[in-house]
């Protein structure tokens, strides 16, 4: 996320909608006479204030579901035997500033909007912000590619908490394309920060979240990848951003090569697995006085599952697939519940490892999620008065059609939390040991990226004072 706060003065800010979805609700409510129905649906409006600033993003979807469904059925009848068209995107190189977009989420100004972001304890739900970030990545992606292609979220590349948010305030979400070589994929770098005064830039210490999304452009008819415009890199700062994007691309390839499907456990990992196994065998031996520690939980006992029908309210702008931000929100909240159930303590989010969206999730399908505590590691730092543990939760997602005739994996998400508890997860089966090993590799990779441990320090601070959860 290098440069997002410093580039702002050189970029042309996109015009944010001054009314947003709240204005749409106010307008329609004024036109209707069925006020009791509106109250039943919990539609509220906040009176505009004189100092109100431009707020929020355009609506994610462009067409009401009933219209999209009707048009799809009509097109299916008309297109029989008609050759499929091929998208022809504009391949003229684009500047980074061409795709820049920022929007204000007015949580401090609009109490009813804030109401949709709060949980029962009055904390801002991070899952809702992750959903907004994916929506923002889509807006920025289309500013770069144009509307002749279909952009889909291919991956979320390490979402990190930079500084905990200590007060409820207006938030600024911003970003732009930072890596595009002319192939079908682009990288969109984003940040969430405490909204600065008008005309000023967000301070580095006010940045809450940094992340990057990989978007892939497809032909709307054939659904095959198509090339899009490359980036025109002009300044030294832009070269650094572009280089960072290239490094992220190579890191993802390297991470795939370290997968247990391609690389067996090395000697160190094999020794660790054997040591854990022999220790567990000693606990089962009635003649051995050693007792299993009370803070050890079997991996199989940490599993949480959920299933839900994918409704059209969470579709993407192309109407028939669920947008990636909804999947992030659901997997995050299940991972949070899993970490809390495991530790009996409030988890504090540290990061999401690079995660790939493997297959689309159709509207009307059934989404199955399975969360497991895959790895735990004590946080050892001088001066800590209590025991803290880093907990990595893996969420596997699969989708079936309603008839349950097909089943596909839609992605794997690895969330890391910090809890104020001395606790350890213990694998038992071979599959669980492999899951533990894979998660340990991810933890080592994250430590190599942030050797100063800043993520853990921020999480420690956030455990007590942060207003996010």
Which residue's structure tokens are 């909240």? 333
Query: What's the CA gap between 142 and 130, in Å, rounded?
Result: 19
pLDDT > 90: percent of the chain: 52
pTM of the model: 0.84
Query: Average pLDDT, stretch 33-55?
Result: 44
More confident residue, 290 or 30: 290
Q: Please check whether residue 164 is in contact with residue 123, taking contact to mean a CB–CB distance below 8 angstroms.
A: no
Q: Please check whether residue 143 is in contact with residue 14, taking contact to mean a CB–CB distance below 8 angstroms.
A: yes
Backbone angles phi, psi at 105, to 5 degrees: -100, 100
**Which residue, 189, 222, 255, sits at the end of a domain?**
255
pLDDT at 37: 40
Q: Are residues 275 and 249 in the same domain?
A: no
Q: Tell me, yes or no, whether 264 lies in a domain.
A: no
pLDDT at 169: 94
pLDDT at 114: 93
pLDDT at 194: 95
Q: Tell me, yes or no, whether 189 lies in a domain.
A: yes
pLDDT at 33: 40
pLDDT at 171: 95
Query: What's the CA gap between 181 and 228, in Å, rounded?
Result: 8
**Given pLDDT bands bounded at 50, 70 and 90, which one contains residue 59?**
low
Q: Are residues 285 and 423 in the same domain?
A: yes
Q: Are residues 65 and 212 in the same domain?
A: yes
Query: What's the CA gap between 207 and 203, in Å, rounded?
Result: 7
- pLDDT tens by residue, 394-407: 999 999 998 888 89
Q: Are residues 163 and 139 in the same domain?
A: yes
- pLDDT tens by residue, 132-165: 999 999 999 999 999 889 899 999 988 989 998 8
Query: Average pLDDT, stretch 177-203?
Result: 93
Q: Tell me, yes or no, whether 89 lies in a domain.
A: yes
Q: Are residues 284 and 140 in the same domain?
A: no
More confident residue, 335 or 65: 335
More confident residue, 196 or 262: 196
Q: Tell me, yes or no, whether 262 lies in a domain.
A: no
Query: Average pLDDT, stretch 41-52?
Result: 47
Query: What's the CA gap between 160 and 318, in Å, rounded?
Result: 29
**Which residue, 255, 286, 314, sits at the end of a domain?**
255
Distance from CA of residue 102 to its chain's centroid? 18
Query: What's the CA gap between 447 and 259, in Å, rounded?
Result: 17
Range in 31-45, 215-229, 378-392 with the lowest mean pLDDT: 31-45
Query: What's the CA gap between 278 and 463, in Å, rounded?
Result: 35
Please determine, for residue 26, whether its predicted confidence score (pLDDT) is greater than 90. no
Query: Average pLDDT, stretch 36-64?
Result: 53
Q: Tell me, yes or no, whether 2 lies in a domain.
A: no
Q: Tell me, yes or no, whether 1 lies in a domain.
A: no
- Residue 228's domain spans which residues? 8-255
Q: Are residues 250 and 306 in the same domain?
A: no
- Looking at the structure of the chain, the number of domains it has is 2
pLDDT at 335: 97
**Which residue, 228, 255, 282, sits at the end of a domain?**
255
pLDDT at 366: 96
Range in 107-121, 234-248, 320-334, 446-460 with the lowest mean pLDDT: 446-460
**Given pLDDT bands bounded at 50, 70 and 90, which one contains residue 385?**
low
Distance from CA of residue 279 to its chain's centroid? 37
**Torsion region of 453: left, alpha or beta (phi above 0 gives left; psi -120 to 50 gives alpha):** left
- pLDDT tens by residue, 78-101: 766 555 566 678 889 999 999 999
Query: What's the CA gap between 464 and 306, in Å, rounded?
Result: 29
pLDDT at 20: 40
Q: Are residues 382 and 240 in the same domain?
A: no
Backbone angles phi, psi at 145, to 5 degrees: -95, -25
Which residues make beta-bridge pairs with 160? 210, 351
> Rounded to 5, what percent of the chain is helix, strand, coil?
35, 25, 40
Q: Are residues 132 and 211 in the same domain?
A: yes
Q: What is the DSSP letter of 61?
A: -
Q: Are residues 406 and 288 in the same domain?
A: yes
Q: Tell me, yes or no, whether 58 lies in a domain.
A: yes
User: Which domain CATH number covers 440?
Assistant: 3.10.129.10
- 445 CB contacts (<8 Å, ≥6 apart)? 255, 258, 353
Q: How far separated are the first and last CA of the chain, in Å rounded?
A: 22
- pLDDT tens by residue, 292-320: 899 999 999 999 999 999 999 898 888 88
| Angle 360-365-370 from CA coordinates, rounded to 5° | 80
Q: Are residues 250 and 274 in the same domain?
A: no
Which among 134, 142, 354, 94 is positioned nearest to 238, based on CA atoms?
Answer: 94
Q: Are residues 340 and 228 in the same domain?
A: no
pLDDT at 140: 94
Please determine, for residue 23, whether its predicted confidence score (pLDDT) is greater than 70. no
Please determine, for residue 186, whether its predicted confidence score (pLDDT) is greater than 50. yes
Q: Are residues 408 and 285 in the same domain?
A: yes
Query: Average pLDDT, stretch 374-393?
Result: 83
Q: Tell me, yes or no, whether 261 lies in a domain.
A: no
């Amino acid at each position: 996320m290098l440069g997002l706060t410093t580039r702002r003065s050189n970029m042309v800010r996109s015009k944010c909608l001054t009314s947003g979805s709240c204005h749409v609700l106010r307008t329609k409510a004024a036109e209707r006479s069925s006020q009791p129905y509106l109250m039943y649906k919990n539609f509220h409006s906040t009176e505009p204030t004189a100092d109100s600033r431009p707020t929020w993003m355009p609506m994610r979807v462009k067409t009401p579901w009933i219209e999209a469904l009707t048009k799809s059925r009509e097109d299916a009848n008309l297109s029989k035997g008609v050759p499929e068209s091929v998208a022809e995107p504009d391949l003229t190189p684009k500047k980074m500033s061409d795709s820049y977009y920022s929007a204000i989420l007015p949580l401090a100004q609009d109490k009813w909007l804030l109401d949709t972001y709060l949980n029962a304890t009055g904390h801002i739900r991070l899952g809702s912000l992750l959903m907004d970030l994916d929506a923002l990545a889509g807006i920025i992606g289309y500013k770069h590619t144009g509307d002749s292609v279909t952009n889909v979220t291919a991956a979320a590349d390490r979402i990190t908490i930079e500084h905990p948010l200590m007060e409820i305030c207006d938030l600024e979400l911003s970003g732009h394309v930072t890596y595009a070589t002319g192939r079908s994929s682009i990288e969109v770098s984003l940040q969430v920060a405490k909204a600065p005064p008008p005309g000023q830039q967000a301070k580095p210490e006010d940045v809450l979240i940094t992340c990057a999304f990989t978007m892939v452009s497809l032909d709307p008819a054939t659904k095959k990848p198509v090339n899009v415009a490359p980036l025109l890199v002009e300044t030294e700062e832009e070269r650094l951003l572009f280089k960072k994007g290239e490094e992220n691309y190579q890191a993802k390839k390297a991470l795939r090569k370290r997968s247990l499907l391609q690389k067996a456990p090395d000697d160190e990992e094999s020794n660790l697995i054997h040591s854990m196994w022999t220790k567990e065998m000693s606990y089962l031996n009635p003649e051995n006085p050693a007792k299993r520690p009370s803070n050890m939980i079997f991996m199989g006992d940490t599993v949480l599952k959920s299933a839900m029908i994918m409704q059209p309210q969470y579709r993407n702008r192309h109407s028939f697939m669920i947008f990636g931000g909804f999947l992030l929100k659901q997997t995050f909240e299940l991972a949070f519940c899993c970490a809390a159930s495991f530790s009996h303590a409030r988890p504090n989010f540290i990061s999401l490892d690079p995660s790939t969206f493997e297959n689309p999730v159709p509207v009307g399908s059934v989404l199955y999620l399975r969360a497991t505590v895959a790895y735990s590691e004590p946080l050892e730092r001088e001066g800590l008065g209590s025991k803290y543990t880093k907990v990595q939760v893996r969420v596997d997602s699969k989708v079936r059609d309603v008839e349950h005739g097909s089943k596909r994996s839609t992605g794997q998400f690895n969330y890391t939390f910090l809890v104020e508890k001395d606790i350890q997860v213990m694998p038992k089966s071979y599959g669980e040991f492999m899951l533990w090993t894979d998660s340990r590799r991810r933890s080592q990779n994250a430590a190599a990226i942030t050797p100063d441990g800043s993520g853990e320090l921020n999480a420690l601070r956030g455990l007590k004072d942060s207003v996010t959860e």
